Structure 1
Amino acid sequence: MKTIHINKIAAIIEMKTRAFFRKNCIIMPIFAIGFTIMLRFLYQYIANDGAYNAVLNGEALAMGLVTNIGGNGIYCCSLLLAEEKEKKTLRVLMTSSVNALEFFIGSILPVFFFTAVINFILVPISGMTLTLTQWIWFTVMTILGTLTSCILGMLLGIFAKDQVSTSTITTPFILTLMLVPMFSTIIESFKTVSHFIFTGAIMEMISNIASHQTPYVELSGMIVMVIEIILAILLFIFFYKKNGYEKD
């Protein structure tokens, strides 16, 4: 078991945080906020004549969350890892005193933190009000979804040769995670697939909360998210070592 040094993780977090704000990453949470505001306006003032409707506001929140978690977590983690590879600093870190686990934790935490914060900000922006129990389920599910997204982003970042290729690699995954749950109420085949992806489980939770259907989260949804987290971690470890980033 490798020793984890907090000071080294903190240094990586500081480096990644600076990169997060100077890269295109900051555009993703801003887009998620703007998208949620736009949907709330469309649903409340155009579709419902300005009256409050929990179901419509929940729809705005669900789509905002899927956009934020599916886009921000995957794209930003991939982009920041690709930057390390492009600048040849990843190899330097891996052959220095920083081990793979320290790099992994330090790289994920900044994106995870900012994505999670935006998730909570989207609730009042969407116009939704949650009870204590609903807040607990919201917190658990969005944290699990954000973690999965970030790990998947790190995994895809391994295959990105440079920052330019990041968009090419991540776009199909981001679109799938966003569009399948969004159109699952219209297309029957999408509804089936949506049950097996973490963004679909989050959208279903928000829909149940908005319509006061219990349980808010199906056991199958929780199992799917946990399995996807474990699978993403295992795949990351495998391809990380296969590509020679892990030092002996």
Structure 2
Amino acid sequence: MENVFFIGEGKVIMKTLHIHKVMAIAEVKFRALCGKNCIIMPIFAIGFTMMMRFLYQNMSGDGGSEEYLNAYALAMGLVMNIGMTGLYCISLMLAEEKEKKTLRVLMTSSVNALEFFVGSVLPVFLVTVIVNYLLMPISGYTITGSNLILFSIVTMIGTLISCIIGMLLGIFAKNQVSTSTLTSPILLLMMLVPMFSSYIEELKMISPFIFTGAIMDMVMHMAEQVSPALNIGGILAMIIEAVVSIALFVLIYKRNGYEKE
């Protein structure tokens, strides 16, 4: 077990994190993630990346750089995966637990809020990160050296932000149907703004300030051999969004717990 600080009831208190409880929750969450409603999301991201690669292969014969187009396929796949797997799956699983009344049972048992949070986020975070790496060979664009280190750090931070936002939205979702209603506007913002920023000038101005846009810009800068691959604006955007998402989650959790009536 490990003692950690956790914010609750308007003050900082000491919570005990029991690893065996976290792993038990993570195991349950992983099985839920493998269910038909969730597993389709990473599969869709992989299929989407593969489709974009084959589509762009035809374009490369018309004078486009194959490496650049493969990098674009990777960037779009990352945005899709981080949004749909990281955000949507977590909020959907939390809503499903509310429907089945298992959430109240967990929160009134010996499992504390921090253990539930870590156990819920861990499997989705790991699956999303693994798929992020799988998208490289699938897209045909490989990142190596120092760029791979930057890629790892930035995509992991982006995945964590997405997971926290998913938990936050899950608090407000009363059932699985309402999850789609709540998450759709956020997903559209996270995915469509970076994807269409190359074609619409207004979106190009907004995209760098969204963490998915910063990730997409980073990959494209690597393909163009632009240094630094991630500029100060992108770094600040990700830091601010990470802090804001954590602060909002803590605030909403303090008021409502994991369920908002």
Aligned pair partner of 1:116 in 111, 126, 129: 129
Change in Cα spacing, 1:158 to 1:245, as seen in structure 2 (3 Å) is closer
> Would the aligned equivalents of 1:54 and 1:211 in 2 still touch at CA under 8 Å?
no
Which residue number corresponds to residue 48 of structure 1?
60
2:173 pairs, out of 139, 153, 160, with 160
Q: Given the alignment of the two structures, is residue 148 of structure 1 paired with residue 161 of structure 2, yes or no? A: yes
Contact 2:38 2:89 in 1 (8 A): yes
Query: Could you give the per-residue CA deviations for residues 208-229 of structure 1, whole angstroms, max 9, x where no partner exists?
Result: 0111111011122122112211
Q: Are 2:92 and 1:99 equivalent residues in the alignment?
A: no
Structure 2 counterpart of 1:61, from 74, 87, 98: 74
What letter matches 2:107 in structure 1? Answer: M
Mind listing any 5+ residue stretches in structure 2 that lack a counterpart? Answer: 1-13
Indicate the residue corresponding to 1:77 in structure 2: 90
Q: Output the CA distance in 1 between the equivalents of 2:144 and 2:213.
A: 22
Distance of 1:13 and 1:129 partners within structure 2: 31
1:241 Cα deviation from its structure 2 partner: 2.3
1:17 to 24, 30, 33: 30
For residues 59-107 of structure 1, the C-alpha deviation after alignment (integer angstroms, 9 at most, x for no partner) is: 1000000000011111000001111111121122112111111100000
CA distance in 1, matches of 2:67, 2:223: 5
1:245–1:122 CA distance, 2 compared to 1 (3 A): closer
Moved over 3 A (4+): none
- Give the structure with the higher percent strand: 2
SS at match of 1:84: helix
- Separation in structure 1 between the aligned mates of residue 102 and residue 211 of structure 2, nearest angstrom: 32
- What whole-Å deviation, never above 9, does each CA across 1:193-214 have from its counterpart, x for those lacking one? 1111100000000000111111
Please give the secondary structure, in 1, of the residue aligned with 2:141: coil
Q: Which runs of 5+ in 1 are unaligned?
A: none
- Which of 169, 177, 189 in structure 2 is aligned with 1:176? 189
Distance 1:122 1:149 in 2: 18
Alignment of 1:172-211 (within 5 A): 172-211=185-224
Q: 1:245 and 1:118, CA in 2 relative to 1: closer, same or farther beyond 3 A?
A: closer
Q: TM-score, length-normalised on structure 2?
A: 0.90
- The Cα of 1:23 is off from its aligned counterpart by 3.8
Whether contact under 8 Å (2:171, 2:258) holds in the other structure is: no
Please give the per-residue CA displacement for 1:122-166, whole angstroms capped at 9, x wherever unaligned.
001111122211111110111011001001000001111101211
Higher relative contact order (CA 8 A, sep 6+): 1
CA contact (8 A) 2:56 2:69 kept: yes
Q: Distance in 1 between matches of 2:181 and 2:55?
A: 31
User: Given the two structures, how large is their TM-score scaled by the length of structure 1?
Assistant: 0.95
Fraction of identical pairs, as percent: 61
1:244 Cα deviation from its structure 2 partner: 4.1
Please give the per-residue CA displacement for 1:155-205, whole angstroms capped at 9, x wherever unaligned: 001111101211111111111100000111111111121111100000000
Counterparts of 1:11 and 1:129, CA distance in 2: 35
Kindly report the root-mean-square deviation, in angstroms, between the aligned alpha carbons of the 2 structures: 1.4
AA of the residue aligned to 1:159: F
